[in-house]
Amino acid sequence: MISCVVLAAGESRRFGPPKALADLGGTTAIETIQRTLIASSVGEVIIVLGAHQNLIEPHVFNHKKVKVVHNKNYKLGQASSFQAGVASVDKNSGGFMLWPVDCPWIAASAIEELARTFEKDRPRILVPVFNGRRGHPPVFNASLKKEILDLPVSEGLNALFTRYPPQEMQAKDEGVVKTFNTPQELSNVKKSS
């Protein structure tokens, strides 16, 4: 089984309102991601909330695959939220994806392709690549769980990528590299989609 940790705990300082609630045309980023994951072979979806939890939680689906984790240390940044999610990953999980909420355009087909490649090769870290650019969601082998939980948040996840150069998977889906941090970036991606 593969788990997915969805990061939606950030303060959205550059975006303004919570990025999880960004309007993608009749639905929100967090809802879009959940629909993609529920329809996929991913076994569990762990949504990490922090800042704006009370605004985002009503958009979390009541589904057997989905659970919520609250990161009380969200001000320490993304690595602390990933650690909060990883700490609650099912012990039978062979690996876990890291999906930031500001990358909602990833197709279910890309998730399936990542899962298949990971199950076949069992790398320490697997990263999708589109047109030479690394994207999301990376997949981490469960053997790295303790190391991730012990990682100083000041180091961040890039320390792991340095320690264990990821295996790259050529993705057919441009969604793996589409992301937004500001309202203007969101508008630009929506126009180009």
- Nearest-angstrom CA–CA distance, 118 and 98: 14
> b/e map of 38-72 (b: 16 or more CB within 10 Å)?
eebebbbbbbbbbbbbeebeebbeeeebbebbebe
Question: Hey, what domains does the chain have and what are their CATH numbers?
Answer: 2-192 (3.90.550.10)
Q: Tokens for 189, please give them.
A: 């991606």
Q: Please, what is the average pLDDT of the chain? A: 94
- The pLDDT, as a whole number, for residue 16 is 85
- The pLDDT, as a whole number, for residue 27 is 94
Nearest to 175 by CA among 65, 50, 29: 29
Radius of gyration of the chain, Cα coordinates, nearest whole angstrom: 15
Asked whether the predicted pLDDT for residue 114 surpasses 90, the reply is yes
Helix axes 108-121, 29-38, angle to 10 degrees: 50
What pLDDT digit, counting tens, does each position of 155-170 carry? 888 889 999 999 999 9
- Nearest-angstrom CA–CA distance, 84 and 132: 31
> Beta strands of the chain (E only): which ranges?
2-8, 44-49, 66-70, 95-100, 125-130, 133-134, 139-141, 167-170
What pLDDT digit, counting tens, does each position of 82-97 carry? 999 999 999 999 999 9
- Nearest-angstrom CA–CA distance, 99 and 96: 10
Residues 6+ apart with CB under 8 A from 80: 71, 73, 74, 153
The number of CA neighbours under 13 Å toward the Cβ of 58 is: 4
Asked whether the predicted pLDDT for residue 193 surpasses 80, the reply is no
> b/e map of 124-152 (b: 16 or more CB within 10 Å)?
bbbbbebeeeebbbbbbbbebbeebeebe
pTM: predicted TM-score of the whole model, two decimal places: 0.94
Residue found under tokens 């998730």: 111
